[in-house]
Structure 1
Amino acid sequence: MVSFILCLLPALLATSAQAQTVTCHQCSGSAESCLPADGTCSVGTAKGGCFTMAEENTLHGTKTTLFSKGCLSDYNSGIKVPITFTGGNGKYLKINTTRCNDADNCNSALLEVPKENTTTNGRQCPTCLSLNANTCDSQITPCTGNEIYCIDFVGEIQKGTPAVKSPFAAKGCATESVQGIKTGDTLVSAGYTFTFTKVTASPAEKTPTSTKPPTTTKPTQATTSGASPALGKFSFALGLTGLLLVKLLS
């Protein structure tokens, strides 16, 4: 009996170890490179899991759509929900992300980027973006969709292999999910790695509404001719009566 248990123990340990890891699809780049994915990776489910990300941005002036899939060593780190940011002058960043660790290759599906919403929401923020400096000159811009927070971010942006790093400064309208970004955090998107040295996020102010002054009614002015027509007729009758009396008395 003891020998049987000793023989069974390695198999149980192997099964337990296998149950504590998950295999994830791994890829980065265009939709073609991520469907199907280029490769796979494995990670322990105690803290890690799989992720899928879709990104659309116009940070460099033209619209770029990127995708990535892979393993997360810390399942609870970083942004776990969709996030969008608008920096004015047509510059924006949209990131959609999901996480899972309940089954192998649970990140096989390809995500869509967050839908664009151009309907103004009655709020406004200072907006600007610089990818080569740690300051930028802002202007007030109406916010749209569910971007109801104002952000002021400064840090370093990294792109490509080998990595090219440069400072960045951004102000603009963003979704409430930006509250999850703190000073010192690193956000890895499908195309960039952002390291934040300054983070400010606060509810956007309401857009001031213009009010028209009340309409005033000018008082009716009297005619320059003096009395009304009725009074004129009355005066004429008195004059005629006086003339008749003079003739009778003479």
Structure 2
Amino acid sequence: MYPYDPEHDAETPTSDDGSSPQISFPSPLAVFGNFYPHIYVNNNGFLSFDRPMSDFTPRAFPLQSGGPILAPFWADVDNEITGSIYYHQSTDPHLLERATFDVRSYFNYPRFTAQWAFVATWDNVTYYGAVSNEVGLIIHHIYIEAFTELDTDWCRLSLFQVVNTFQAVLITDWTFTFVLFNYENIQWTTDSASEGVDGLGGNHAQAGLNSGNSSFYSIPGSLSQEILHVSTTSNVYFSGRWAFKVDGYDPEFPDFPPTDGSLSCTQCVNTMGSSCTGSAVICPSGSLCGSQYAEYTDNGVLYEVIIRSCLPVNQCGTSGSFSFQNNNVQIVNLCCDSDLCTPTIPEFPPQNNETNGMTCPSCLSTGSLECFTGETIQCTGNETTCFQISSPASGGVAMRGCSSRSFCEADYQSLTNAANISLNIQCSNGGNEPPYTPSTASTTPGNEPPYTPSTASTTPDGSLSCTQCVNTMGSSCTGSAVTCHSGSLCGSQYAEYTDSKW
């Protein structure tokens, strides 16, 4: 479910078969080939664009009257008994980042960036007839008055255990429009006026899309008892979620069909370019041919990386970015569904250099699984989270900096495993600096704990001048002098390693 706030969201009237007032958009919204300046949230489980609608008996799609209908769960809701219907428009960066992440995950629109969202939530609503007329209302008021010190919502729900919670989310960049239906809890399908008993039987709920121009889609189980289980179904491999693209004349569906595991996909890595070739591998069930594209800038120089292999369908379309020191990295996972196919290389958007107020530790360390310095970085754009990464690759790499939330939420391990790269990614949930937890992985055989530097050394005042140099092929080196900052001494890292060739 997308976030909603009963304290601040608007709410439809407490009225059987009621609707919201007309809700105007900041710009006309593309829906089924037309542009609409407003929307209505109807208590009976659907959104409409032409007019408010009080229809309480669900009917089979397609319908030729009433204009476009987006129906997560069209049934006879009575919020006079219990439950509420909330709605809000949002340009909140965190919500839009999540919306962008979801759209890119489900559809092949790697450059889509959400600009606006509309969230309508039917929260713990019950059906018409769940409590009979005056007797039920009298019981309700007695119950509330008898427990005035208890939460009234709890009191109401204690009487009405059969409730539904579901949601419709509109997402747009003002060119393309997508809708998500989220189902958290479905316990009834029918009202008592439609031959239902205890919320079941009779005329069941309808879920889906109706354009008003003959194109439509009904979620499987609509108008049958099976719609009771819609929270366990999906067209995006995410139980309780259905996703559609709805700006065109006909609805469009997510771009990854189920696979039986018979796909043959290229597996390869190129850390210095945007193409690669390699051997073919047979993918497991639930996977498609995936490519991870990355662009990174190092002190203004642009580099490209590509990894190809099998990718679980729920990781198709995921994307994110992170920055540390003078580096920025953008990543996207794309998929295709035919043997040895390769997705089109995306065009990454330009980096947003506008600071957002977030500050994170920033460092890069090689030859170690840990990195911590006194440096910080001012986060920019949608990179509103602090991250830390460690990998044993090349003797150990660690870095810290700013990242987008979508980078933290995605699972990049499937493709990096194909490149024999193991990553440990941790992100903060808020604040300017996440608690730093040193890695417990030992870089030596056995289960020895990692080395902890001694804290007994004398702390200098920062006036030391130390040699800075590197020699990867010997035990001595010379270089230039640097002035150390407070808390530092002149240090040397010595290493011996054995290679089977020598």
Q: What is the TM-score when the length of structure 1 is the normalising length?
A: 0.54
CA contact (8 A) 1:123 1:205 kept: yes
Name the CA distance, whole Å, in 1 between partners of 2:421 and 2:300. 18
Distance in 2 between residues matched to 1:26 and 1:191, nearest whole Å: 9
Equivalent in the alignment of 2:282: 43
Q: Which runs of 5+ in 1 are unaligned?
A: 1-17, 159-164, 207-250
Shift of 1:192: 8.0
Q: Does 1:68 align with 2:304?
A: no
CA distance in 2, matches of 1:46, 1:189: 17
| Aligned counterpart in structure 1 of residue 371 of structure 2, from 115, 132, 135 | 135
Output the amino acid matched with 1:137.
T
Pairs within 5 Å for 1:75-86? 75-76=313-314, 81-86=318-323
Seen in structure 2, the aligned counterparts of structure 1 residues 177 and 204 have a Cα distance that, compared at 3 Å, is: farther
Distance 1:142 1:76 in 2: 32
Distance 1:60 1:130, change over 3 A: farther
- Give the aligned partner of residue 452 of structure 2: none
TM superposition score normalised by structure 2: 0.29
Inter-partner Cα distance in structure 1 for 2:388 and 2:318: 20
Aligned to 1:126: 361
Aligned partner of residue 118 in structure 1, secondary structure = coil
Determine the structure 1 residue equivalent to 2:408.
179
Asked if residue 166 in structure 1 is aligned to residue 395 in structure 2, the reply is yes
Aligned positions of 1:1-250 closer than 5 A? 20-29=261-270, 31=273, 33-34=275-276, 38=277, 41-44=280-283, 46-58=285-297, 63-72=302-311, 74-76=312-314, 81-88=318-325, 90-101=326-337, 103-113=338-348, 115-133=350-368, 134-153=370-389, 155-158=390-393, 165-180=394-409, 188=416, 193-196=421-424, 199-205=426-432
Aligned-residue CA RMSD (Å): 3.8
Runs of 4+ deviating beyond 6 Å = 189-192
Cα distance change of structure 1 residues 51 and 67 upon mapping to structure 2, 3 Å threshold: same
Deviation at 1:117, TM superposition (A): 1.4
Higher helix share: 1
Aligned residue type for 1:43: I
Q: Distance in 2 between matches of 1:86 and 1:117?
A: 11
Q: How far, CA to CA, are the matches of 1:27 and 1:139 in structure 2?
A: 36
Structure 1 residue 123: Cα displacement: 1.9
Q: Which residue type is aligned with residue 193 of structure 1?
A: I
Gaps of 5+ in 2: 1-258, 434-502
Q: RCO (CA 8 Å, sep 6+): is it higher in 1 or 2?
A: 1
Aligned length: 172
- Greater gyration radius: 1
